[in-house]
Amino acid sequence: MQAEDVKQVIESQLVDSQVLTSGEGCNFEIAVISNQFADLSPVKKQQLVYACLNKQIASGDIHAVTIKTYTPEQWAALN
């Protein structure tokens, strides 16, 4: 699986999100920027992203992920 594949999987399920991915094989670092994170706890944000990848994790296509989540405002403040 490639980083672009991971990006497409997440963006297809989290509408209006921006996804940045790096990594290859089965290990990826993912940053997701979405308004959907605005009122969620850190755990709920992680669960939302993991839910997009359950099929790939279960099949072994993805073994390890590091996920960072941001609202657009948080992302803008970092950049």
**Residue 6, Cβ density class (10 Å: 0-12 exposed, 13-18 middle, ≥19 buried):** buried
The total domain count for the chain is: 1
Confidence check: pLDDT of 76 > 90: yes
Confidence check: pLDDT of 3 > 90: yes
Confidence (pLDDT) at 43: 96
Q: Band the pLDDT of 71: cuts 50, 70, 90.
A: very high
Confidence (pLDDT) at 79: 84
Look at the pTM and tell me if it is higher than 0.85. Answer: yes
**Domain boundaries, position 49:** 3-78
The pLDDT tens digits for 13-27 are: 999 999 999 998 889
Q: Which two tokens stand for residue 70?
A: 């941001």
The pLDDT tens digits for 49-60 are: 999 999 999 999
CATH code for position 71? 3.30.300.90
